[in-house]
Structure formats: C-alpha cells, structure tokens
Amino acid sequence: MSAPNPFGKSLSFPPRVGIDGRMAWSEGEQNIRESIAVILRTEPGERVALAPFGAGLGRFLFEPNNAATHVRIEGAIGAALARWEPRIKLEGVEVTPDPRQADAALAAVDYRLVATGARARISVTVPLGQA
C-alpha cells in the first residue's frame, strides 16, 4: 500500500484532456500551484456553493498602479491564501509595477509547503489602471 499523498489530488487547472482521452488530474506540488492560481483568479460570488471563495483581484482593475494599490493587493492575496489554502504557509507577497505594462502589476507570492517545508514562489499579473 502506498503512502498517502500529503498534497492532494484534483482535476487539473485549467481543465484539460490527457493523452488517454480522460480528464487530466494534477497532484503534488503542481496541484498546490494550480490551487493558488484558482484562488487568485476567482472573484467572490463566482462559486455559487462557496460565495466567499477567491481573492477578488478583479476589484483593482480600475485602481491606479501605485504603492497604495499594491499594498491593498498584497493584503487581499495574503488573506485569501491564508483562508483557502491550508497546505501552504505564506512567507510573503510583494506587488510591484510590471515593467512591461503600465496598466499591470506583478504579484510574487513566496510560500512554504506545510508537508515538506520546501519553499516555492508563484507570480501573477494583476491588471490595473494607468500609473
């Protein structure tokens, strides 16, 4: 009997079909990265059965790309991940202007896997108003 997977297993995100013609699954560290992406891309109210779920980053779409907005984004990301992803310990969130797009910010999320202590980082682009 194999040891239980401490990271979990679920349908891959985005959903896709595997080479065998069945829905693809993700597990391990990839499953956690996909879960973080789902949390950050979901707006509260989108999931009917779990209305509070998500980081709500869409609410910043028309906000200026400045330090005050970045601090609010950091708070939204930190609160959402603390609430919805128990398999990680958040070590930091840093939001900075995207040097390639004046109307976007980059959010870098540093975390540690609870099960193994391994560190990881994921980055997401957050669309904003002009700088």
Q: What confidence tens digit (pLDDT) does each residue in 24-63 have? A: 666 778 888 999 999 999 999 998 898 999 999 999 999 9
What's the rounded Cα separation, in Å, for the pair 44 and 51?
A: 6
What's the rounded Cα separation, in Å, for the pair 78 and 94?
A: 10
Q: What is the pLDDT of residue 129?
A: 81
What's the rounded Cα separation, in Å, for the pair 60 and 27?
A: 31
> What structural domains does the chain harbor?
9-127 (3.10.450.40)
Q: What is the pTM of this model?
A: 0.82
Please write the tens of the pLDDT for every residue from 64-79.
Answer: 999 999 999 999 999 9
Q: Is 33 helix (H, G, I), strand (E, B) or coil?
A: helix
Q: Who contacts 109 (Cβ-Cβ below 8 Å, separation ≥6)?
A: 36, 77, 81, 90, 92, 93, 121, 122, 123, 124
Q: Who contacts 129 (Cβ-Cβ below 8 Å, separation ≥6)?
A: 61, 62, 63, 64, 65, 103
Q: Is the pLDDT of residue 112 over 80?
A: yes
Please write the tens of the pLDDT for every residue from 83-102.
Answer: 999 999 999 999 999 999 98
Higher-confidence residue of 43 and 15: namely 43
